[in-house]
Structure formats: C-alpha cells, structure tokens
Structure 1
C-alpha cells in the first residue's frame, strides 16, 4: 500500500504556483482539504499591477463564454465585480472578425467573451481566494523539489527566495497540484524520484507576440467593439487583435508564426500592423495615444502532458503545466478554469483529496483539454514552418471541412452562430455536423 493510500482523504493540499490556474485549483479544493497552501515564487502587488511571474500578462487576454460562465458559477458575483471595475463583456457580434474566408457575417450573437487586462482578472480572483480561511499563501517562496517516491508524491520541498534564501524545508501533503505554468519543473523532479517520463505531445508554430496598450480616442467609431484579423495560412502567417479593457483603453496584440514574427520595438510593431491582411487596426489606432511601451513575448511550443497515463498518486497537474496552447486561439484561461472544475468534481465524488480523487482528476483534466488541444494543433498544422503538428489524410479532411465552415460563416448566420459556440468552447465541434448547420456548410 502506498503512502498516499494510507493517508486520510482530508488533510493538506499544496498548490505549486499562485497564478490564475493555481488560485482556481486552491478554490476548487476548499471544503475537501483541511489546509490548502499556495506556494508562489513572486510577491503579489498591492493593486492591479503586472508582475514578472506572469510574462504573458501584458498581452491580450479574454475569458471565453464557457470560461466566464464557469468563473461565475465558481465565484458568484465576480463577473459583475469585474465589469464594475472596467472589464468589458463583448458579444461575438461586436467583433469585426476577419477569418481566412473573409469577414464573418454579422447577427445578434448570444456568445460573448469577457475582456480585461490579466492583472485585473487575477486581482479579483486573488481577493476571493485569500478570503477563504482554509487557504494560505507562501509568497516569495520557491518549490525546489518533491517529496515521495516513484509511486506517490507526498509533499514538496520549499525555500525562501531572495539573497538570504534560508534552509530547504518540507511541506508534507496528501495532494500536490502543479499549477506552475509553462516553466514547470515537475517533470524533472518526477524523474529524480524514479518515475518514467511523462508522455507528451509538442506542437510548435514558432509564434511570437508584440503588444501595446492605447488610450481609446473619444468618439472612436467602433466604441467598445473589438477586432480580430486572422492569418490566411500558409502564406500570410500574421494576425492582430484589438480588445477593449478597463480604463477606456484598448490592448492590441500582434502575432506572427515562424518566419513572420513581429520585429522588436515600436518600429517592429508599426511595421507588423501595416502588414496585416486588412488596414482596420491601423486605421483604428491612427488617433490613439499609446498608454505604454511595446512588449514582446515568446510563448514557446504548445505542449500536452499525459499524466492520466500513469502519473504517481498524490499529484494532479492543471493549467499550462498540463497543456499549453498557441495563445492566438484564446483558450488558455478558459481551459485553466475547466481544470479547476474537474478537480472539484473529482474530490467531491471521492469525498476528499486521497489517491482515488487524484487519479480521477488526472483523467478528467486530460479529457477537458482534449478538444481545445485538437482544435489548436490542427490549425497550427496549416503553417508550413510548424513542427510536431498532426498530419495525414484525416487532418487534410478536417482542414477542407473547416474551410467550408468558415466560408459559410461569412454568409449564413446559422453557421456563424454554431462556429461561435464551438470557438467559445460552449459546444464541441460535432455541433457543426448538426443537419441544419451541415446543410448550409455543404451548400456553400
């Protein structure tokens, strides 16, 4: 019998990483763990500020329809709080969306996303999580290793950050949740415990970002509407998005796949803006005053780690530590919330944080990220310079069918609505095969 199987189903849970995925995971465990410890290497800012530990935080973020529905279910009232602080609810019909087939048809859409800067979202979630008596935070603290063996993780080793780092100390736990993001060291630490390598998939489109905040000009034609100019693979692998955020500002993120990356600095940003498929963003920004400098970001490859195929007892991996996606598809925040939902369902089903709950959570987290991963990887496969992408006849069939969906979405609002539901992660891609939708697609 392993250590985790002997441990009681309630006790200490440690969450590695205090970003959005970690905070959501800690919130999901309330009531099922007597003590929840969130170990965060940074120190949180006093207010709504960017922080170094979230390098992607300076770039455009949105919470898809499925994500903000779930966030509200987890933390009732938080959506209204965010909107009162300036977050914008943007209906899909309020987005000028240029897909590879042209401009999506306009109609009174039901789907919407929540748009704000990442620090605003994080700050409101943090306030909720901090207020719960069973959740504590160790800020300015590094996790430097795992406790346990190849069969079971039984805690973590931590050490204070800073010039006087102090001694390594142990935090025993019945459950360890890795929410450390893209830079997680857990696979390396598991190898040190004698675990077999975690199976993983890796797709790399070589995407690079450049983002900047702007003050929205008074009387701007599009007001609080957004714009999304997608690429037309494989020849023009550039895109741009403009989103309204708090403080009467726009955040503009420009991206390019490998070979079409935006150059550094203001000149690179402006050049990339001019080279987009349509001048819409360039025209919208003509009279807009910058509200900050240009910030670059190299997210790296998309990686999906299959802990459900044999991870040790006592460990669950969530968020970007489990699956990272090409950020251009806007899935990351919503999938992190999906992970928290599945973690809570698992501990609730098993009545605590024991080994059975961890195994169930690993499988559920993998299932929740499966469709977003398929959607992201299949689209990345369109670009010639992408490495590791799925290939073969089936991918070619998927591309041809999706091209027909996009073409129909520019003319038939029933198809546009179904497309928005799928892209909002509210419905699976099988919705596109519903007879009323499929008929319109095939007629196109």
Structure 2
C-alpha cells in the first residue's frame, strides 16, 4: 500500500521507538490502522532485564495513580499482571512516608496508590500485551535514519537494520553489519524515541521551521542501587521519599519495594549537589540527606547490584501543536521531558496514548485529522505536569530557564502554605496527593474546604 499527502484515514502507522511510550502508542492505535509498525533499535530481551535503550531504567520509577488508571483503561487487567510479576501496591499514605519541604506528610486513609516494580518488569508486561495484537509488528534491531515527505506532510520513515547482534548493555553501539536503507510509507508517524529524539533535526532537513519549545534545567543527576531486603526488616512503611527543600537542601532520596524481595534506592541532587560517582559517591550522598531514614534502613541491607548513575539532561517541552507537518504525532519524552524527581514521565506517556486513541477513534483512522487533533490533545494532557515541574525547578538558584516573576513567587508562597498545612491536616494532604498524582488539576487546592485550611495555616 502506498502513502501520499492526501492519504485515506486507514493504512499504516509507524512508531519510532519501542520503549514504553512507543508500545502503548502502538497499542492505542489498534483497530484504527490496518498495520502498526514499531521500529526499535534494541532487540528485546527474553526476560525482564535492563537494556541499553532505556538508560533511565535502572532508577526508581513511579507510575502515578492517574497513570495506573490510564494503563488499566488502555490494557484492562494489566495491574493484576504486574502484581503477579512481583510488583508491590503502595498506598499514597501509610505505606509511603513522605518528608516534604515542610515536614512529614500527615497520614490519612488513602484511596490513591501506585504499583512499585523495576522498569523492566513494567516494560515487559506492556510489551507482552502489545504482542497479542496481530496488527502490531515489531522491527527490532532497526534504526530510523530519517523521515519521508516534505515540509507540508510526513509520509513515512527511512529505516536501516543494525544487524543480528543480540541487544545488551555491552552492544549498544550500532552493529558493523548494517543493512540497506529502505523506505516505509505510512499515513501516520508517531515519534516515541525519547529524550534523544532526532525528529527535530529530520524536520529541519525537510525544510520545516524549528518547533517552538520551552527549556528548564535544574541540573539533576541520579545515583541508584538495588538492595536485598534484610530478613525481618520493618520500616513501619513500604516506601520512603525524602524530598528536596529549596534552596538549601537540593538533595533527595527514595526507597521503593520491587520484585524479588528487593529495594531500589535512588538518590538525586540538583546542580551543585549531584551524587558523586560509584559506591563512594552513593554513600556520601546518602549521609547528606536531610533525614537519616534511608541511611538507617540500608545499614543491614546487602547490595544486589552496582551503583548506577544517570544524567537526564534538561526538561524540554516541544509545542508540535503550534507547528508540525501533517501526519506526525510526538508522544512521551520526545514531546515533553520532565525532571525525573517528580515521577511524571511514564504517566504523561500514558496520557499521550489515551489522547492518540481518542482522536483515532473519533476520526475513524490514522489520517491527517487524527494527527492534528492528537497534537492538540497531547499538549493539553501534558500541560499541568510541565507547569508543576518547572515551578518547582526554578526554586533552585542554579536552575537555568523556566518561569519567573511575581506570579511564580506567589505560587511558591501558596504551595509552601499547602505543604505546611499538609503536615497536620489530612484533608489537605489528600488533596495535595491527588494533584501530584495527576488525578486532579491544581485547582483542587482552591476547593473551599482545602483553601480555608491552608489560609488558616
């Protein structure tokens, strides 16, 4: 089947990138395209294991409550499959002890919860579900090397096989035996290639104007390690989150339960307070956190792996809804990357998949109208996460970019009052958790009963 700039609404959709964002986007397009091709540069491992194409995969991940609801809507039964694979259910209060910038959050009977597991377990559950759909085809070990089309419309991709070398963390570089470049026409191209996306460069090669974007960079760096949970260990909770406190406490740490009776511990610091390399840097950073909870929990814990570092880079929000050729949709980190300390990335990727499915179903296919509406909806569903992330990042003096001015300072003062009240008022704590879990918009904090408590202090 051929594609053109006036292609009908059904046909081929190509997804660039077979990580979580790409796989859920492909799944979202089932029943809306005749064929869906996912082009993934890695080769998927047989068992859940860390892979080179997901460098952030070795660090603690949160799928927020709103993300789990979106995932269950897209893939009914997936939560039960994750639990069967060893994921832990962690209630937002009681199971999770959260030290905010104002103090420990008050406990309440939480309705919100998240499932905690390593990223490979999450990815495999989603991949296994997508592989049950006969219209989805995975091209593993294959690079996308460019886009087809013009400045007016993207009509497919150019791909090249990387060879038959099995994927592993030690074979991340392209294979020396590369295949021929070939064209794959498509009615819709979905960029899900993550933070390192090449699509802006390829669009420039087609003659497109640069996509408007926002950038903010707090200079965050990560250091993470898996630990065997000591026999009989009792923290009084399942998970601990020690939040940063701007501007004088730019370090944070989180301990989460994962499959295999293990903990994953991720430490992070903003620019100027980054964890040092290796075990020495991890231990030093652990000792400098504003509360000894994590350090004490790990006193009798045996490491289950090496210390791994990660430099996420700046947060970037690309406004494809303001200008993009027909036939192109961008999802996940390729559209919006956030400071990972807020745990929003996976959830927003799931929001993108929901938006893509809604628009494809509304238009009955994957034509240009679907792409236009999807770009607009993706901008809407990612906005609150971006605004909250940026507003927090700019609290740190070394942050570059981001919003500024009197309004931002007013927002900071109000949120400080919310957090202070949340240390003793369960209703305010619950409302704050709903907003941070992306279940409710920030306007929930202005509900009369919540606002009255905050203003009373």
Q: TM-score, normalised by structure 2?
A: 0.96
Partner of 2:169: none
Partner of 1:169: 182
Q: How do 1:185-196 residues align onto structure 2 when only pairs under 5 Å count? A: 185-196=198-209
User: Are residue 119 (structure 1) and residue 120 (structure 2) matched?
Assistant: yes
* SS across alignment from 1:212: strand
Partner of 2:351: 338
| 1:389 positional shift | 1.6
Q: 1:319, 1:419 → 2: CA distance? A: 24
Partner of 1:209: 222
Q: Is this contact kept in 1: 2:11–2:34, CA < 8 A?
A: yes
Superimposed CA distance per residue, residues 281-337 of structure 1 (whole angstroms, 9 cap, x where no aligned partner):
000111111000000000000000000001100000000000000000000010000
Q: 1:57, 1:8 → 2: CA distance? A: 38
| 1:96 positional shift | 1.0
Q: 1:117, 1:369 → 2: CA distance? A: 24
CA RMSD of aligned residues (A): 0.8
Partner of 2:38: 38
Partner of 1:241: 254
| 1:223 positional shift | 6.4
Change (3 A) 1:82 1:224: farther
Change (3 A) 1:348 1:4: farther
| 1:222 positional shift | 2.1
Superimposed CA distance per residue, residues 26-63 of structure 1 (whole angstroms, 9 cap, x where no aligned partner):
00000000000000000000101100000000000011
Q: 1:414, 1:274 → 2: CA distance? A: 33
Residue of 252, 255, 267 corresponding to 2:268: 255
* SS across alignment from 2:410: helix
Q: How do 1:276-425 residues align onto structure 2 when only pairs under 5 Å count? A: 276-425=289-438
Partner of 1:85: 85
| 1:113 positional shift | 1.1
* SS across alignment from 2:68: helix
Q: 2:59, 2:4 → 1: CA distance? A: 40
User: Are residue 182 (structure 1) and residue 190 (structure 2) matched?
Assistant: no
Q: 1:68, 1:247 → 2: CA distance? A: 22
Partner of 2:172: none
Partner of 1:54: 54
Q: Is this contact kept in 2: 1:5–1:354, CA < 8 A?
A: no
* SS across alignment from 1:113: strand
The aligned length equals 442
Q: 1:51, 1:438 → 2: CA distance? A: 46
Q: 1:185, 1:108 → 2: CA distance? A: 46
Q: Is this contact kept in 1: 2:106–2:426, CA < 8 A?
A: yes
Partner of 2:141: 140
Partner of 1:26: 26
Q: Is this contact kept in 2: 1:216–1:250, CA < 8 A?
A: yes
* SS across alignment from 2:336: coil
Residue of 275, 281, 284 corresponding to 1:271: 284
Q: How do 1:99-118 residues align onto structure 2 when only pairs under 5 Å count? A: 99-118=100-119
Q: 1:233, 1:223 → 2: CA distance? A: 27
Partner of 1:74: 74
Change (3 A) 1:187 1:367: same
* Structure 1 residues without counterparts, runs of 5 or longer: none
* Moved >3 Å (runs of 4+): none
Q: 1:297, 1:248 → 2: CA distance? A: 24
* Structure 2 residues without counterparts, runs of 5 or longer: 163-174
Q: Is this contact kept in 1: 2:222–2:267, CA < 8 A?
A: yes
Q: TM-score, normalised by structure 1?
A: 0.99
* SS across alignment from 2:401: coil
